[in-house]
Chains A and B, each alone.
Chain A
Amino acid sequence: MSDKLWAMANLKVNFCGVEFENPTVLASGVLGVTSASLKRVVEMGAGGVTTKSIWMEEHKGHKNPTMFGTEHFFLNAVGLSDAGIEKARGLFAEYGEPAGSGAKNVRPAPVIASIVAGKQSEFADLTEEIVKSRPDILEVNISCPNVEDEFGIPFACDLLLAADVTKVVRRKLDELGSKIPMIVKLSPNVPNIGRIAKACADEGADGFCAINTVGPGMVIDLKTRKPILANRVGGVSGPAIKPIAVKAVNDIHKATGLPIIGTGGVMTGEDAIEMMMAGATLVGMGTMVYYREVGGFGEVVKEMGDWCDANGVEVVGDLIGSIK
């Protein structure tokens, strides 16, 4: 790798009409509790950020231990803790107004609002509230259990439910006349992610974020014979899940052709390039922070530029879906 300070390649990408300085995005659930934290991630080099998933009301989440890792994988069961829409309003106000709004306090990079709910009607109510804060993109997290389902299976794991939530949010956005792009965050824990993506696309999704964590998985302490996570099981992320994520992104790309935030196991610039080749426009990173700290964002961006320069790629966007 060379020591030059910036890449010659153009790293800007356009995702659903929103301009990003580079393709890296902070994934939901990591360093996303406060505006100050999101701003710091941007300072460190991220092209955009995603909030921790926002509920309408306060949501306690699970007790600790909620996360830990090894060199191969990371396991978490935070339980989507959040203080609700009131806190979210404060976060967006602090983070700043959209670019081009002419406001004094302009946000440093696009922000993706991740929303979560336990039933369809709540997704609609939350959409109505969150739109007032003018996030650049709305990400619908459908990986939480459907409280109205007798088995409590996540919306993301059922084609009809996933499509239904998409429809509900789309209808609300249209009703409000909102042009905010809406993407759906998909779970890899399904037999055919492409089919689910297609069903959501048919109901008006503008794009996708994939994948959420794999599993769930479990780690047991041998001496006490107890699972370590307080929730017993949790989502698997980190280096081990990258091949699953790359394949899922490619499936969604082939099934829908819509823009994707490719997320899952991305640790390096080359991982990010691979994700783009599979079909991603943006590349999400969360667990990367565990391995490379928050400064890893800038490092990955530099590595992407270096790769492009070394391989004669002048515009990084040309790589999207370039898999042969």
Chain B
Amino acid sequence: MDVKNFNTIPETIPIKKIVKETDTIWTFQFEYNLESKPGQFLMLWIPGVDEKPFSIAYDDGKEFWLTIAKVGSATEELFKLKEGDLIGIRGPFGTHYKWEKGKHLVLLAGGYGAAPLYGLARAAVEDGCKVDFVVGARSEDLLLYEERVSALGSNVTYHAATDDGSKGHEGYNTEILEEIIASKDGEGVSKIYACGPEMMMKRAAEIARDKGIKSELALERYMKCGFGVCGQCCVDETGVCVCKEGTVFDGERALGFSEFGKYHRDSMGKKVEW
């Protein structure tokens, strides 16, 4: 075993740059060779405050980005930090998305799920893949990463769906997914990737299964360790740790988890319905 892998003490590094995507969603950029793969996550320590898992939006071997929404007390403290302030990282952890060269992929993002899927789109395009990038959000101002995704070139098509119709399709992004698959062009779709609210991912996995297409989903569960020890993120009824054997699971496998789309657990292990 590689001894280096056993060091999971957080390493503190300065925030290089903060990009404000919206008032409550910021991208934190770091100059650091994280050696992560699309879909992996890291544990981010806000010194003296808390530590939370975040999926990695971008990693080119020189810098990496985390796109984070202000949703609770920990992220509220995080949003008080400035460029140059120190923050702790440990990881990367978890499984990653897999794709084959030159294939047609559909990426389905709900809300800030667009960030990690951007990392996948970027890597897949480099491998000659054709990508349909479908983002869903409540309204236009919450749609993320449009410019960055569009800048990936002509092999990537950005589709938007909003609940209020303020941009793109009025309705669910899964409806765009179904349209793409049903179109002539959709015959060649080799895999569907989803990241976002669990009900959206469940729908995506069901659509994929019905059409005989493979899918990969990134599950979200409360985590403490991030490396398969604490047992906080174990899913029923298989008992597998989301942090270790996920967070990216084959869609078919995720559909087999009895709790998938039904409930998750809080920091004390108590069931919470979605």
Contact = CB atoms under 8 A, between A and B. Distances in A.
A170 B9 CA distance: 42
A65 B45 contact: yes
Contacts of A58: 268, 270
B26 interface: no
Contact of A38 (B3, B10, B239): B239
Given A37-B231, A71-B7, A290-B229, A226 B268 contact: no
Given A36-B234, A36-B236, A70-B9, A230 B51 contact: yes
A289 B268 CA distance: 21
A76 to B, nearest CB: 8
Nearest to A58: B268
Contacts of A20: none
A171 interface: no
A81 B225 contact: no
A219 B107 CA distance: 41
A293 B244 contact: yes
Interface in A38-79: 38-41, 52, 58-61, 63-71, 78
Interface size bracket, B side: 35 or more
Main secondary structure of the interface of A (DSSP, over half): loop
B9 A33 contact: no
B190 interface: no
B1 interface: yes
A30 B43 CA distance: 19
A291 interface: yes
A70 B7 contact: yes
Interface string B35-73: 000000001010111111000000000000000000000
A31 interface: yes
B161 to A, nearest CB: 34
Given A34-B236, A70-B6, A64 B269 contact: no
A69 B226 CA distance: 12
15 contacts: A31-B231, A39-B239, A40-B240, A66-B51, A69-B9, A70-B6, A71-B6, A71-B7, A83-B266, A221-B88, A223-B12, A228-B88, A230-B50, A290-B228, A294-B228
Interface of B: 1, 3, 6-10, 12, 43, 45, 47-52, 74, 86, 88, 90, 224-225, 227-232, 234-241, 244, 265-270
Interface of A: 30-34, 36-41, 52, 58-61, 63-71, 78, 81-84, 87, 219, 221, 223-224, 226, 228, 230, 286-287, 289-291, 293-294
Given A63-B74, A71-B6, A84-B268, 9 more contacts: A31-B239, A41-B239, A60-B268, A65-B10, A67-B224, A68-B9, A69-B7, A223-B86, A230-B50
